Chain A
Amino acid sequence: DVKVTQSSRYLVKRTGEKVFLECVQDMDHENMFWYRQDPGLGLRLIYFSYDVKMKEKGDIPEGYSVSREKKERFSLILESASTNQTSMYLCASRDGTYGYTFGSGTRLTVV
């Protein structure tokens, strides 16, 4: 089974801090994704990557950046955390034919 591992399950950060969320997958998938999930808003795509060093903006990229230096690792960076970035963050990876496999999620609280 594909495993997608997110480094932290719960995270509390202060406003203005730079925050790194890490995601690692073990199945050599080319495509990786970062979503945030909020009540009533569903899953919203922040950024995705289809190859090493390649990235594309999703629907809500403002305030975020990403890094993909190795195929298995896709990092989400909050440049200066704000309270409206308090959310559940979900990483996913996909091979060419199937749906996504999600990580267990990181619940981020910005205070």
Chain B
Amino acid sequence: QKEVEQNSGPLSVPEGAIASLNCTYSDRGSQSFFWYRQYSGKSPELIMSIYSNGDKEDGRFTAQLNKASQYVSLLIRDSQPSDSATYLCAVRSFSGSARQLTFGSGTQLTVLP
């Protein structure tokens, strides 16, 4: 059973702080990693993807991948109240069906004004 684990939260940070969201996965064959943001009552939207070890930056967002330790993280710098949402980690493996993603249950983030 491929598993993706996230702390459910809620995680609260003050406006302007760095929010750190973590995700671990069980399948060492995993190759592609994604972070989705989901506002309450809305569908998930893709915000970051990462495929190789190290950091990938996009604006205020940085995704970090460590395949040896089987974790992926998302850092949000200068957090804004509009970042308040649930963040879903998703992993794609190349064993079994390579066509689907496995999602974590999400971390709820609240940015306090």
- A41 to B: closest C-beta gap in Å: 7
Instruction: Say which residue of A56, A100, A103 sits within 8 Å of B101 (CB atoms).
Output: A100
Tell me which residues across on chain A come within 8 A of B42, comparing CB atoms. 104-105
B46 within 8 Å of A (CB atoms): yes
| Closest A residue, CB atoms, query B6 | A42
CB pair B99 A31 closer than 8 Å: yes
Could you say which of B43, B88, B100, B105 contacts A58, with CB atoms under 8 Å apart? B100
Q: Do A105 and B43 touch (CB < 8 A)?
A: yes
Q: Which of A41, A90, A98, A100 has the most CB of B within 10 A?
A: A100
Contact between chains at B99 and A41 (CB < 8 Å): no
B103 and A43 form a contact (CB under 8 A): yes
Interface residues contributed by chain B, number (CB under 8 Å) = 20
Determine if B45 is an interface residue (Cβ-Cβ < 8 Å). Answer: yes
In whole angstroms, what is the CA distance A50 to B43 when docked? Answer: 22
Count the A residues whose beta carbon is within 8 Å of the partner chain — how many? 21
A42 with B103: CB separation less than 8 A = yes
- State the Cβ distance, B47 to closest chain A Cβ, in Å: 9
Please indicate the chain B residues that have their CB under 8 angstroms from the CB of A102 in the complex: 43-45
Q: Which residues of B contact A74 (CB under 8 A)?
A: none
8 residue pairs of the A-B complex, CB under 8 angstroms, read A50-B99, A56-B97, A58-B100, A99-B32, A99-B101, A100-B44, A102-B43, A104-B43
